[in-house]
Structure 1
Amino acid sequence: MTMNLPNLLTVLRLLAAPGVAIMFLYFSRPLADWFALVLFVTAAITDWFDGYLARAWKQESKLGAMLDPIADKAMVVIALMVIIGFSSWSAWLVLPATMILFREVFVSGLREFLGDVAGTLKVTNLAKWKTTFQMVAIAVLFSQGVFEHYLAVSAEGLDPGQVQAALAGAAEDTQNLRWKSWAMHSAGILGLFLLWVAAALTLVTGWDYFRKALPHLKDET
């Protein structure tokens, strides 16, 4: 096993995956949301760098090929778990997250079953786009949590009537509630849209992998 820079970045991304959840155990919100967002975005950026550097420096290795998809899946699964855990469990969030989690488990099991012929399930360009949409969607949804808690902090001490008046523009918005509310709702809508796109790509790529694996799943007669 070779521990070069690309592999080191992959290992750090793998370790960052549980770190996203740990942020919410040791820090209060919105600080935890900020730390989780920065950690997730930084780790997601390394997903591009480690592959690029491995190819550019001709340092591609079996260790990196094995760890890279594991790190990606760990980041997505744990981040979605955290987001759902701190959400209102809306069906618009839970359904695409469920589709994504189901596909990741299904394809991982398929690869494990195929063993030596798992190379037939090579990562496609569409699967790379799927991962990109997942990463961006999760980052946007984490930012929604940041805006939500800054809005709550700004509205603290105000009665509901004052908050509604400020949001409606009927009263002076001394706490900048309007733009924080707009940012919170915009991040939520954009994040959900991107997550649904990622879920659709997830199902398409999952079916593609299953179709390619079918010849190896037939019983010999």
Structure 2
Amino acid sequence: MHRQIPNILTILRILLALGGAAALWTSYQWSQTGLVPLWLGEPVLAARSLAMFAVIAFVVAAATDWLDGWLARRWDAGSVLGEILDPIADKLLVNAYLIVYMLILGTPIDIAVPVFALVARDAAMTAARLLPGAPGSTALAVSPAAKLKTALAMIVAGFPLIAQPLGWTSHDILLLAWIGALWVTAALSLLTAWNYFRK
């Protein structure tokens, strides 16, 4: 039974990624409109509770990204399902939150372009892993650059959650630094994808 725990954690990460991003977007909508279901009570408190869930969901999901892999290696519990789901879970966590940030910030072009590049690259890589006869339908080794990309993407996706209480979007230098890091992440993502398909 314990050999299934890594895959269970990966599935949990997928659910947290989607649920956390949806909670973040709903929290923003509620805080802007005040239109909260009556049974949830005071709008500001309801919006903040959802925002807190979005933060916790991201932190837990990011932590299980390390934990499920460690447990799979420790228990020799690697599986084909785990090899498929693990990178999908990583991509969903990063991309779902980045899309919500983009929408919250009004979809400016300097954010939309790298986010679109990341989403398109990840969709192509997922297809390469899953589609029969696709270039990467066999297991693709994870390069050091890809590991760096994943770590940087997690930081870029998590930073706004930490910086939001500081009102980071009103500080030009913080916002510009984050946008710069987003572009670097997108460029590194495209580079790693190019290396995969070139091979």
TM over 0.5: yes
1:68 to 86, 91, 101: 86
1:87 to 78, 99, 105: 105
CA change 1:190–1:140 in 2 (3 A) is farther
Q: CA–CA distance in 2 between the matches of 1:194 and 1:53?
A: 31
CA change 1:80–1:116 in 2 (3 A) is closer
Q: Which string of whole-angstrom CA distances, capped at 9 and with x for unpartnered residues, describes residues 136-186 of structure 1?
A: 1011123344433xxxxxxxxxxxxxxxxxxxxxxxxxxxxxxx788x545
1:51 paired with 2:69, answer yes
Give the number of equivalent residue pairs. 180
Q: Secondary structure at the match of 1:60?
A: coil
1:135 paired with 2:122, answer no
1:125 paired with 2:112, answer no
Q: Secondary structure at the match of 2:138?
A: helix
Q: Secondary structure at the match of 1:76?
A: helix
CA change 1:48–1:186 in 2 (3 A) is farther
CA change 1:62–1:186 in 2 (3 A) is same
- Point out where structure 1 has 5 or more consecutive residues left out of the alignment: 149-179, 213-221
- Point out where structure 2 has 5 or more consecutive residues left out of the alignment: 32-46
TM-score of the two chains, using structure 2 as the length reference: 0.77
Larger radius of gyration: 1
Q: Secondary structure at the match of 2:137?
A: helix
Q: Which amino acid aligns with 1:9?
A: L
CA change 1:3–1:115 in 2 (3 A) is farther
Kindly indicate whether the alpha-carbon contact (under 8 Å) linking 1:14 and 1:71 is maintained by their aligned counterparts in 2. yes
Q: Secondary structure at the match of 2:126?
A: helix
Relative contact order, higher structure (CA 8 A, sep 6+) = 1
Q: Which amino acid aligns with 1:98?
A: F
Q: CA–CA distance in 1 between the matches of 2:54 and 2:172?
A: 20
1:205 paired with 2:180, answer no
Match of 1:16 in 2: 16
1:147 to 166, 170, 182: 166
CA change 1:92–1:5 in 2 (3 A) is same
What is the root-mean-square deviation in Å for CA atoms of aligned residues?
Answer: 2.7
CA change 1:194–1:37 in 2 (3 A) is farther
Report deviation, 1:68.
Answer: 0.6
Q: Secondary structure at the match of 1:114?
A: coil
Report deviation, 1:26.
Answer: 5.3
